[in-house]
Amino acid sequence: MDGLMAILAQGDHPTAMHQVTLLHYLIVSGIMFTLGLIGFVTRRNLIVMFLCTELMFQAAGLAAIAFGRFHLNHTGETFVIFVLTVAAAEAALALALVVLLFRRRETLDASAWAEMKG
Amino acid sequence: MVEVMANMVAKLALAAPPGSDGHAPADAGHGVASGVGHGVGHVAKVVFGEGGDLLMAVPVLTLGAMVACGLCAALGIRNKLPGWISVGALAGAFAAVLVTFLGWHGQTAIVHGFEWINFQWGGKPSQSLVANFAFYVDTLTLLWMLFVTGLGALIALYASEYMSHDVGLGYCRFFAAFNLFVFSMSCLVMADNLLLLYLGWEGVGLCSYLLIGYFYKKAPAVAAGKKAFIMNRIGDLGLALGVMLVFVKFHSVEYKDLIPLWQGYMELVAHGQWTDVPIEVRWAALLIMVGAFGKSAQVFFYVWLPDAMEGPTPVSALIHAATMVTAGVFLIARLFPLFASDHQLVALTVVAWSGALTAFWSGLIGMAIFDVKRVMGYSTISQLGFMFAGLGLLTPIGASFHTFTHAFFKATLFLGVGAVMHGFGGQLDLRRLSGVAWMKGFGLVGVAMLIGAVNLSGVPFTAGFFSKDMILAQAFALPGGTIAGSQALGWLLLLTAGMTAYYTFRTYFRVFAGPKEFTPGDDPELVDLGRHPKGTTLEAWHAQHGHGHGHGHGHGHDAHAGHGDGHGHGHGPARVDFDPATEDFDPHPPGMAMKGAIFACMALSVLAAGLYFVAPGGDPHTHGGWVAGMIGTSSAAFHAPHGGELFGQDPHAIMYFVSALVGLVGIFIAAYLHGPRGWQGLMVGIRDRADVAPRADALAAKLGGVATAARKKFSVDELYHAVIVLPLRVVAYIFAFLDNFLVDGLVNLVGFMPRGAGTLVRPSQSGVLHDYALRMLMGIGLVLAVALAAMGGGVGGLL
């Protein structure tokens, strides 16, 4: 674990990344993910919650690209391309669902749906 | 042990080859009688012959007729077709038996139907169970089959009219069960092994149940059917155990193995070598005896038979008087070599005393009750008691002869009572009927009842007189000590014979003789046959309303109204109870079919007396005429020791006079107490009305408690209820409680555990999306924390 920290923190990596290090990307990614998480848990509007999940998605994507760049391979980028495609499809589906749900209850409040209560 | 037995069987078979009977002269038996054996000399041996194939027609015809009746029901036939099919099939069956009988050679034949049960579990002959659908035909079988099929056909003819008020599904059901009964009875009688006999035995029990409960909407009929079935099952347990014991001990259930074996034992006993006879013959006989008691309503089992009178009268006549209830007599006669193999005759002594006591006891009840049909029921029990006494007193001839004559005259009596019941709206109370014989259309019934009554009472020169005498005389003819207390038993039976004459003629003098008087009964369907509004005649009323002969006015609507109305009797809409203020009732006389059957039974009862004069041939000690000849060539042949005396004379000679006197005294007392004024009451009666017989009523009042108790049938049913039914019911309630609370409780507990666990965890499912998200988050956080801690750094190490 200490080794990882050291690698993340090293400035004299023999690549073009001098001022902006992997750590910065990861921090941004972490902040984005946390924001998404907090938004998902606190907000009640279905569309906002959906946006928050998208935010978390993109945070993960950012981290993946950063690691890909760090390791000088294209795995992360390839992965993100697929993720984006899936996310687009998913957005279409999810928003359609939201529309349906809205039609049923005339509200976007997620707490209007509690049928699973035990 | 098994080898020893097998060896012994082989030894016996060698020691007593067929035709070796000559070496045991009758006198040798008498010598042994004073010692250890019971004095059997001269044991007959089974001789096997050929023939009898025609008898296979009996089960085929009866079973076929049953299927045909079922088809009629399926096709919705609403006429008398099932009745005619049955009469035809049963007449055919009788013809087959008659033809076989007329050409019979006196030997024993086995008629093979098909292989039924054949198990083998080893090479030895003892390691197999063989029971075929095959018939063991000898003269005993033929004697029984003659009256089973003959009376079956006649009573089917009678029933075709008697049941006509129920034409339709009920009619089909009745005749299907009727044919199944004759099929089962012929399996029972003709079986060549104990298993097929048992099948028939249960079959007749089933049919008895079905037919007693024929009027299944009447609660007493249903209860009576159940009672008969359950009481028979108790007896059948004994029979089943007996059959098992026979198989375990003698390694066969087939008569062709067993009867020669047992006859070998009889010979051993006759020669005083009774130590070579296994004691199991006594236990098997005692167990089988219990089965016979159940079916023939003896001793503790008798209570089902009076209740069985709830069934339609043809059923009472055929099943509960003439044939099925004599199955116990047949069983003991068929297995008589087994019963006689016991050197102390324990089982037969029990049979004799049980029969005599049952005869006396049910005779007592028969003297007191007012229901005519039940009087006949109790008299049947009583006469069966005579037959059992005859078997126990070592005269299978007397028992079989009495069974044979009783079948005809008791059927006559029942058919006559049925005609009265049919004609008077189900009226059976002898205080509500009088002078029936003088009413229009009932003359034949009156004559038939008189002939049945003189037979049952043992009036000289009737069939019943001769057959009962055989049994009574035998009680005194046996040397002392052969059957314990046979003399006392004889006096008890004589007393019962007098009582029989009394209660039979009590019924006759009350119902059939005297001034014409009646009150119709309350059976709605039968009342319909004779009711009409005041001011009209029955014929005019029926003609006006378009009802044919034999149909009451409720029935015409059957086709479109179906069953079930407010009264629960179920015929036609808006049925109105008979109202004496606005309606008249004309007795409905029996029609041609019923009259024909009554006449035939009556004629056969009279002709049966002639059988006594057909020479049996041979032994001068043998009485009993034709039946003696029949039994003499069957396996039930038995030469009882002869040594007792009555009033210093040969009992068989003097008994003619003694029993005639007893019977006539009984009739005279009946006339004195119940007879109508004038010649019809033999000039001693003083009765003027149906409901009052001054002397009898005064005597009953004087007797007080005894008469009341007898009228209540000595509360035996109530006693059984208190001693057997109630304790069993308490036990049943306890078991039901244990089952409901302990067993079901355990099962429910197992079911409750997952439910309880679910109840505990259920609140965590809030159904709110954010809750799930938060908990997921917490979960991930926990997993991460654990993972990081496991990697050793903790959260701090990451940063």
The mean pLDDT value for A65-78 works out to 92
The DSSP call for residue B530 is T
Poorest-pLDDT segment among B27-41, B413-427, B746-760, B770-784: B27-41
Span B686-741, pLDDT tens digits: 898 888 888 888 888 888 888 888 888 888 888 998 998 899 999 999 999 999 99
Q: Measured between CB atoms, does A111 come within 8 Å of chain B? A: yes
Q: Measured between CB atoms, does A6 come within 8 Å of chain B? A: no
Q: Which of B759, B764, B768 to mutate to test the interface with A (most CBs of A within 10 A)?
A: B768
For A65, B48, B252, the CA distances from B255, given in Å and listed in that order, are 100, 12, 8
Q: What pLDDT is recorded for position A115?
A: 83
- Of B449, B509, B441, the residue nearest B684 (C-alpha): B509
Q: CA of A56, closest CA in chain B: separation in Å?
A: 13
- Decide if pLDDT at A26 tops 80: yes
Q: CA of A88, closest CA in chain B: separation in Å?
A: 22
Q: CA of B768, closest CA in chain A: separation in Å?
A: 5
Q: What pLDDT is recorded for position B564?
A: 37
Question: In which band, very low, low, confident or very high, does the pLDDT at B572 lie, cut at 50, 70 and 90?
Answer: very low
Q: Strands B433-434, B517-518: parallel, antiparallel or unpaired by DSSP?
A: antiparallel
Task: Give the chain A residue whose CA is nearest to the CA of B762.
Answer: A118
* Percent residues over pLDDT 70 in chain B: 89
Which amino acid is present at B176?
Answer: A
Per the prediction, chain B carries an average pLDDT of 86
Q: Please indicate whether residue B567 or residue B478 has the higher confidence score (pLDDT).
A: B478
Contacts of B766 in chain A (CB under 8 A): 114, 117-118
Q: What pLDDT is recorded for position B109?
A: 92
- Decide if pLDDT at B125 tops 80: no
H-type alpha helices, B271-322: 280-295, 304-307, 313-317
Poorest-pLDDT segment among A58-72, B438-452, B501-515, B603-617: B603-617
Contacts of A115 in chain B (CB under 8 A): 767
Which of B761, B773, B791 is nearest residue A1 as measured by Cβ atoms?
Answer: B791
Contacts of B797 in chain A (CB under 8 A): 1-2, 5
Strand partners, B772: none
Among B470-484, B646-660, B742-756, the range with the most confident prediction by mean pLDDT is B742-756
Span B428-463, pLDDT tens digits: 999 999 999 999 899 999 999 999 999 999 999 999
- Decide if pLDDT at B795 tops 90: no
Poorest-pLDDT segment among B556-565, B568-577, B629-638: B556-565
Secondary structure (3-state) at B521: coil
Q: Measured between CB atoms, does A117 come within 8 Å of chain B? A: yes
Q: Measured between CB atoms, does A113 come within 8 Å of chain B? A: yes
Poorest-pLDDT segment among A35-39, B23-27, B140-144: B23-27
Q: What pLDDT is recorded for position B567?
A: 39
Report yes or no: A66 and A13 within 8 Å, Cβ to Cβ: no
Report yes or no: A76 and A66 within 8 Å, Cβ to Cβ: yes
Span B618-668, pLDDT tens digits: 555 567 788 888 888 888 888 888 887 788 788 888 888 999 999 999 999
Cα–Cα distance for residue pair B791/B795, rounded to 1 Å: 10
ipTM of the shown complex: 0.78
- Of B391, B504, B473, the residue nearest B656 (C-alpha): B473
* Residue B355 structure tokens: 């029969």
Report yes or no: B465 and B459 within 8 Å, Cβ to Cβ: yes
Residue B540: Cβ within 10 Å count: 11
For B5, B222, B251, B280, B643, the CA distances from B248, given in Å and listed in that order, are 11, 38, 6, 10, 38
Cα–Cα distance for residue pair B411/B602, rounded to 1 Å: 9
Q: What pLDDT is recorded for position B468?
A: 93
The residue count of chain A comes to 118
Q: Measured between CB atoms, does B769 come within 8 Å of chain A? A: yes
Q: Please indicate whether residue B46 or residue B447 has the higher confidence score (pLDDT).
A: B447
The mean pLDDT value for B181-207 works out to 95
Q: CA of A5, closest CA in chain B: separation in Å?
A: 7
Cα–Cα distance for residue pair B512/B447, rounded to 1 Å: 9
Q: Residue holding tokens 């007593």?
A: B16
Report yes or no: B393 and B474 within 8 Å, Cβ to Cβ: yes
Which of A1, A5, A118 is nearest residue B762 as measured by Cβ atoms?
Answer: A118
Task: Give the chain A residue whose CA is nearest to the CA of B758.
Answer: A118
Contacts of A118 in chain B (CB under 8 A): 761-767
Cα–Cα distance for residue pair B662/B650, rounded to 1 Å: 18
- Decide if pLDDT at B29 tops 60: no
Contacts of A110 in chain B (CB under 8 A): 768-770
| CB contact (8 A) between residue B797 and residue A111 | no
Q: What pLDDT is recorded for position B7?
A: 43
Residue B484: Cβ within 10 Å count: 15
| CB contact (8 A) between residue B769 and residue A113 | yes
| CB contact (8 A) between residue B767 and residue A116 | yes
Contacts of A33 in chain B (CB under 8 A): none
Q: Please indicate whether residue A33 or residue B633 has the higher confidence score (pLDDT).
A: A33
